Every structure is written in structure tokens, then in C-alpha cells.
Structure 1
Amino acid sequence: MLTDSSRAADFPSLNGIHYLNTAAESIPPVCVNEAVNEYMQHKSLGMRGRDFHFPRVEACREITAKHLGLATNEVSFCSCSSEAYNLLASALDLTPNDEVVVTDLDFPAGATPWLTAPEHARPVSHLWKNNHGALNLVDLASLLSERTKLVQVSLVSFYNGHRIAYAKLRDMVRLLAPNAVLAVDVTQALGRVVLDCQDADILISSTHKWTLGIHGGGIIGIPKKSAARLTTKAGGWYHISNAFDADRFESARVKSGALSFSVGMPSFAALYALNASLRYLDQIGVATIAAHADPLVARVHAGLKELGITTLCPAQPDNPSGIVAFTHENTAAINEALLAGNIHVMHQVGRIRIAIHGYNTAADVDKLLATLRSAL
């Protein structure tokens, strides 16, 4: 992943292109393709395939827990991050007397379940607004109180790459909102930056971005201290300890904490893939990936500044992420020029977003900046 030879061997589809769009979709390594093929081989065995499926889920749980810094029984899976947040809403069971805080740099999956609740159960929602692309704690303090039951943030913003100062955020929430659950979306961080938020009440992530996996998976991490409070009230079977016992139609005994978020049959294909991708990343080391990719992000920031482009989030040399974003009146034309040069970024509603992972190189950045210079 970090050398020309390993990049060519592990990511052959990157040959001839400059892929800078991992924040939307990753390029899985060859071992992930092999894992999905293995799933299909096992699936072709019919019922006997389950003898392979369920052990693979447990192997995936083990490596996922290692990446999250949690115990194995504190980690579980569902179909996507949106499902995880709706299950979190079920666990919290909020009322109009409760308050939640979300940010305007968050992805809709974490921000909307509290807005779509029935009116009789809809909590008061407060918006923590960014200031010039950054979330400042001074703007959060007035939104917190003993009525606050949830503070939802993303460790790294999908929108502009802002990485929250987690330790200071945690300390403020614990002090000013002692009854609040602190939920952290790590979708744009897991597999790319070294996590520093293991003591949040719940961690949620998708599986098809920086983790190098595929669609169909959602990751949930809930430390033991928060398990009782964050046990879903959803129906299902896989998360119910007495699903097939004699009393199953009289009561449902839901497993505690993270395990309660796996309400149905696991998405085996996604978990085969995730098991392979996280073990691949573990062999390299996320810290090693960050040491390689962070200087490339800094080069993008510096190059955009030379071109007179102001990014949507200032450079964060002490708290970096993999994302750089900017707006421009001619983003459509810029994106066409980039695509003509086989440079893949995210173009959406006047915004260009650049994402740099361990498989990116200095040549990718140089090509990006040279093409931008020409296009402008």
C-alpha cells in the first residue's frame, strides 16, 4: 500500500488513475476481492456454509475491536450506519423534554433520526454550528445542560475534513451535560487516523470507505460502561438471547449493549470483506498510514493556498485528517478537467472534496495541483 510494488500488487485497479475519493468510496485491496469470492464459495454450500459464515463474523468482531480499542464483546455489526443510528434512537427513547446536540458538519445519518421522530416523542434539537469550517467548543457550551441526552459528532467531518478536538469535547460534555450520551461517527476516520475517542459512549462507522471494505455493513462499538443504557428496543432475533426458547412468544430478552444492534442475520459478505480489509490495514498499521498520508494532505493545503483557493476547513497540522475540501464558482469545469486527467475527486453542489489514503502518492498530489493550476 505504501510502496510502488505493494500498491501495484494490492490495488491493480489504481493503474493509470489518480484516485482521491476514498471519503466516498474506497478501492478495496485484492485480499478483499478474495474474501468476497470465498464467501460465495461458502454460500454455495447452502446450509453447510453457515459453518464458515459465523466463525468469520467472530473473526471480524475480533479485528474490529482491536481497531476500535474495545473488547470483542463491545463490538457488533448491522447493515449500515443509518440503521445503527435508528437503533440508537430506539435505545435512547427520547421525549420532548429531552435535548440533543448535532453539528452542521455531520452526515445526515447521525443528524436526522432525532428530527424524524413522531411529534409526541421528538426531542429538542440544537445545532452546533461551525465557525469558518471548525467546531469551536466555546459555541457548544451554551447548548449543553442537564436536559441534554445526546451529543452527536463526527470525529472527522465528511463535508470538509474538520477533525474534532475530542478530548476537550469529551471533558466539556461530561461536565456540562452529565446525562448525555456522547456518540461519535468514525466513518471518515477508521482505518485512516489513529482513533482517540475509545471512551465515547458509542462509536459508529460504515464499512466501505477508509476501512477498504464493501457496502452492506455497519460497525457499532459500545463500551461496557454504557451497555445497559444503550440497549435497543427493536424486534428481531439475532440479538435476542431466547429467540428460540419455549418462552419466546411471552418475552424477548435482548442482549446488552453493542450486541443488541445486530437484530437480524449478519451481512456475511460485508463482514468477510471487512475482516480481510481490517487485517490488511492492521498489518501495515494505521499510524504508519497516517505518517505516509498526512504530509500529502499538507501538500494539498499548501498547493491550494498558492493557487488562491481557501479550503472549507483550515489545515490542522496537530490534528490531521485525510480530507481537504473547497468551493469555487467553476467547480463543474474544474471537475471536468480533473476527470480528463484521470483524477478522481468528489464534486457535489459546487464543492470539490479531496481524500488521501495510504495508497496515494506524491505523484497523485502533483498531478492534482498541476491540473488545478491549468484549469484555473
Structure 2
Amino acid sequence: MLTDSSRAADFPTLKGIHYLNTAAESIPPLCVNEAVAEYMHHKSMGMRGRDFHFPRVEACREIAARHLGLATDEVSFCSCSSEAYNLLASALQLTPKNEVVVTDLDFPAGATPWLTAPESSRPVTRLWKNRNGSLDLTDLAALLNERTALVQVSLVSFYNGHRIPFAPLRDLIRKHAPQAVLAVDVTQALGRIALDCQDADILISSTHKWTLGIHGGGIIGIPKKSAARLTTTAGGWYHISNAFDADRFENPRIKSGALSFSVGMPSFAALYALNASLRYLEQVGMAQIIAHADPLVARVHAGLKELGITALSAAQPDCTSGIVAFTHANTTAINDALLAQNIHVMHQVGRIRIAVHGYNTEEDVDKLLATLRSVLGG
């Protein structure tokens, strides 16, 4: 991942391309392919395969907890981040008397459960708007009050890579809305940057981006201090401690906190993959990944500045992320030129998003900037 030889061995599909789109889809290392193949081998054993499936879930829980900085029993899994947020909504049981704060840099999964709730139970949603690509805590303070029941943020924005300074955010919320749940989406952070948000009430992540896993998984972390009030009321069976006991119809008992978010049969294939990918990242070393990738991000910022392009979120020396994005009138032409050079970024009309992970190289960034200079005449 960090050398030419390890990159070639672990990511053979990167040969001949410059892949800068991990914020949308990662390229899994070969060990993930092998883990999914192992799942299929175990699945082909029928019921006997479960002797392997469930221990693998627990192994994945253990490594996921280490990456999140939480205890093993504070971490669980569901099918995706969208499911996790809907389960959070069922746990909170908000009403029109409650208020929710979301940001305009957040992914829709973290905002829509509150916006689409039935009118009779829909909380008041307040929008924390960005200023020139950044979220100003002064603006948040004006939105907080005793009715604030939830503040939902992304540690790193999917849209432009803005990273929220967590400690000042936490302190502000605890001061002005001490009863509010602080929910943090770490999808664009986990596996790429050092997490500093373990003091949030709930952490949520998908599994197919910077963690180098595949689709079908959602990670939930809920510290014990928040477990009682963040226990879902959704139906299911895997999260019921007495699901097959004689009293299950009279008194079903839901497991507390994060464990309540695993309502049904685990998505074993996704968790085999996640177990392998997180262990791969741990073996490479998160500190090494950060030390390798952050200077490449800084090079992208510097190169865009030389071209007269203003990134949607300014470079943050002490608060880095893996994402750089910009807008331009000719993004379709830019993207076509990049693809002609086998450079892969995220393109939406009007916006280009670049994502740099540990498997990226100086050559990837140099090729990107050279192509941009060619297209834009810089």
C-alpha cells in the first residue's frame, strides 16, 4: 500500500490507472477478495458454515472496536449507514416538541430520517449552513437550546472534505444543549484519519469506502454512557436476548445500545470483508497511512491554488482529511480529459471531488495536476 512492491501485490487492479475516488468506492486489497471467497466456502457448507460465520462476526467486532477506540461490546453492525440512522430514529422517538440540527455538508442518510418522519412525530429540523465550505461553531451556537434533542454531523464531509474540529464542537453542544445526542458519521474518516470523536454518543460508518471493505455493512459505535437512551425499539430477533425463550411473546428483551442495532441476521459477507480490510489497515499502520497520504492531499491543494482554483474546503494543516473538491464551469470536459489519462475522480455536474488514500502515489497527484494544467491552460 505504501511501496511500489506492496501496492502491486495487494492492489493489482491499480496497475495502469490513477484511482482518486475512494470517497465513493474503495479498491479492496486482495485479502478482502480472499475473505469473501472464504465466506462463500463456508456458506457452501450449509448450516455447518455458521460455525465459522458467527466467530468471524466477533472477530470483526473486535478489530472495528480498536479502530473506533471503543470497547468491543460498544460496537455492532447493520446493513448500511442509512439503516443505522433509521434505527437511531426509532431509539430517539422524537416529537414535534424536539429539535434536530443537521448540516448542509452532511450526507443525506444522516438528515432524511428527521425530515421524512410523519408530520405527527416530525421534529423541528434546523440547518447548520456552511460558510465558504466550512462550518462555523458560532452559527451552531445560535441553533442550540433546551429543546435540541440531536445534533447530527459528519466528522469529514463527503461533499468537500471539511473536517469538523471535534472537541470544540462537543464542548459547545454540552454547554448549550446538554441533553442533546451528538451523532457523528465517520464514513469519510474511518480508515483514513485518526479519529478523535470517541466522546460522541453514537458513531456510524459504512464499510465500502476508506475502510477498504465492500457493500452490505454498517458500523455502529455507542459508548456505554449512551447505551440506555440509544437502544432501538425496532423489531427483529438477533438483537433480542430472549428471542427463543418461553417468555419471548410476553416480554421480549432488546439488547442495550450498539448491540440493539443488529436487528437481524448479520451480513456475513460484508463482515468477513471488513474483518480482513480493517486488519490489513492495522497491519500497514494508520500512522503510516496518514503520514503518506496527507502530504499528497497538501500537494493537491497547492496545485489547485497554482491553477487559480479555489477548493471548496480550505486546506487545514491541523485538521486534515482525504478529500479535496472544487467547482468549475467545465467539469464535464475536465472529467473527460482525466478519464482519457486513466485518472478516476468523482464527477458531478459542476463539481470534481478528489480522494487520496494510502494506495495513492506522487505519480497519481502529478498526473492529475498535469492534466488539469493541460485542460485549463495553466
Task: Work out the CA distance in 1 between the residues paired with 2:238 and 2:11.
Answer: 35
Letter in 1 for 2:108: P
Q: Deviations over 1:291-314 (max 9, x none)?
A: 100000000000000001111011
Q: Which residue does 2:268 correspond to in 1?
A: 268
Per the TM alignment, residue 285 of structure 1 is displaced from its structure 2 partner at its CA by 1.5
Q: Which residue does 2:158 correspond to in 1?
A: 158
Q: Which residue does 1:28 correspond to in 2?
A: 28
Say whether 1:89 aligns with 2:89.
Answer: yes
Q: Which residue does 2:188 correspond to in 1?
A: 188
Say whether 1:328 aligns with 2:338.
Answer: no
Task: Work out the CA distance in 2 between the residues paired with 1:98 and 1:50.
Answer: 43
Moved over 3 A (4+): none
Q: Normalising by structure 2, report the TM-score.
A: 0.99
Q: Which residue does 1:55 correspond to in 2?
A: 55
Say whether 1:45 aligns with 2:45.
Answer: yes
Task: Work out the CA distance in 2 between the residues paired with 1:140 and 1:249.
Answer: 45
Say whether 1:313 aligns with 2:291.
Answer: no
1:1-376 pair list within 5 angstroms: 1-376=1-376
Where does structure 2 lack aligned partners over 5 or more consecutive residues? none
Task: Work out the CA distance in 2 between the residues paired with 1:285 and 1:229.
Answer: 35
Task: Work out the CA distance in 2 between the residues paired with 1:241 and 1:374.
Answer: 62
Per the TM alignment, residue 349 of structure 1 is displaced from its structure 2 partner at its CA by 2.5
Matched residues, percent identical?
85
Task: Work out the CA distance in 2 between the residues paired with 1:288 and 1:130.
Answer: 31
Task: Work out the CA distance in 1 between the residues paired with 2:286 and 2:221.
Answer: 18
Task: Work out the CA distance in 2 between the residues paired with 1:287 and 1:158.
Answer: 22
Task: Work out the CA distance in 2 between the residues paired with 1:39 and 1:26.
Answer: 20
Q: Normalising by structure 1, report the TM-score.
A: 1.00
SS of the aligned residue for 2:293 comes to helix
Per the TM alignment, residue 251 of structure 1 is displaced from its structure 2 partner at its CA by 2.1
SS of the aligned residue for 1:151 comes to strand
Letter in 1 for 2:261: F
Task: Work out the CA distance in 2 between the residues paired with 1:82 and 1:351.
Answer: 24
Q: Deviations over 1:183-206 (max 9, x none)?
A: 000000000000000110000000
Per the TM alignment, residue 317 of structure 1 is displaced from its structure 2 partner at its CA by 1.1
SS of the aligned residue for 1:295 comes to helix
Per the TM alignment, residue 250 of structure 1 is displaced from its structure 2 partner at its CA by 1.5
Letter in 1 for 2:5: S
Task: Work out the CA distance in 1 between the residues paired with 2:264 and 2:375.
Answer: 50
Per the TM alignment, residue 325 of structure 1 is displaced from its structure 2 partner at its CA by 0.1
Task: Work out the CA distance in 1 between the residues paired with 2:223 and 2:349.
Answer: 38
Letter in 1 for 2:138: V
Task: Work out the CA distance in 2 between the residues paired with 1:160 and 1:206.
Answer: 18
Where does structure 1 lack aligned partners over 5 or more consecutive residues? none
Q: Deviations over 1:44-100 (max 9, x none)?
A: 000000000000000000000000000000000000000000000000000000000
Per the TM alignment, residue 146 of structure 1 is displaced from its structure 2 partner at its CA by 1.0
SS of the aligned residue for 1:277 comes to helix
Letter in 1 for 2:123: P
Q: How many aligned positions are there?
A: 376
SS of the aligned residue for 1:153 comes to strand
Q: Deviations over 1:205-250 (max 9, x none)?
A: 0000000000000000000000000000000000001110111112
Per the TM alignment, residue 173 of structure 1 is displaced from its structure 2 partner at its CA by 0.3
SS of the aligned residue for 1:334 comes to helix
Task: Work out the CA distance in 2 between the residues paired with 1:146 and 1:4.
Answer: 55
SS of the aligned residue for 1:113 comes to helix
Task: Work out the CA distance in 1 between the residues paired with 2:288 and 2:70.
Answer: 21
